[in-house]
Chains A and B, each alone.
Chain A
């Protein structure tokens, strides 16, 4: 069965410092990976997906199939980046459906 591991429950960095949130996955097929973010008092929302190779709010994430990782990085953290971050793996379920398997999340705090 698939699994997503986020080893850090809590992560604190100072404003302007680089930040890396770790995500490792186990899945026998071709992975589709996402990062979701939940800001305080807001709903869970998509941050970025690996297929798009995009940079959102300064964050990037590269899929490393050899290391089965999808770490989220930002070179200069901002206080508004403080939030709960979830890594998620999309796998096929029944028919054309897919389902997400989430990691346990990392609470990022950016200190002034």
Chain B
């Protein structure tokens, strides 16, 4: 049981390039999330999804797009990468019912924009 899997683990891009980060979960979770982690700032929510075909903006959505075409996958896209998007990106998922449900995290993707 892999849990939450993120690909790729590392990537270096040039400014203006585009790319897609993939998150896959095998726990049949309804909710999925994308965060970015920057030094001294903890994790900040970029976008999230409450189910297949739905997405919503988080705290820092600008410059990113997401899609949830399948329940198990949540894609994060950068259309035109900027150096300010250099960060570690984490995907997470959680069940829908009840409060106080924990989020399950992937290993992260370290992205550098030159």
Contact = CB atoms under 8 A, between A and B. Distances in A.
User: Interface size for chain B: under 10, 10 to 19, 20 to 34, or 35 or more residues?
Assistant: 20 to 34
Contact of A34 (B48, B56, B90, B102): B102
Interface residues of A, number: 27
Given A44-B105, A45-B105, A97-B48, A102 B43 contact: yes
A51 interface: yes
Contacts of B45: 99-101
13 contacts: A32-B100, A43-B108, A44-B92, A44-B105, A46-B102, A86-B42, A97-B50, A97-B56, A100-B33, A100-B43, A101-B45, A102-B35, A103-B42
Interface of B: 4, 31, 33, 35, 40-45, 48, 50, 56, 58-59, 90, 92, 96, 99-100, 102-108
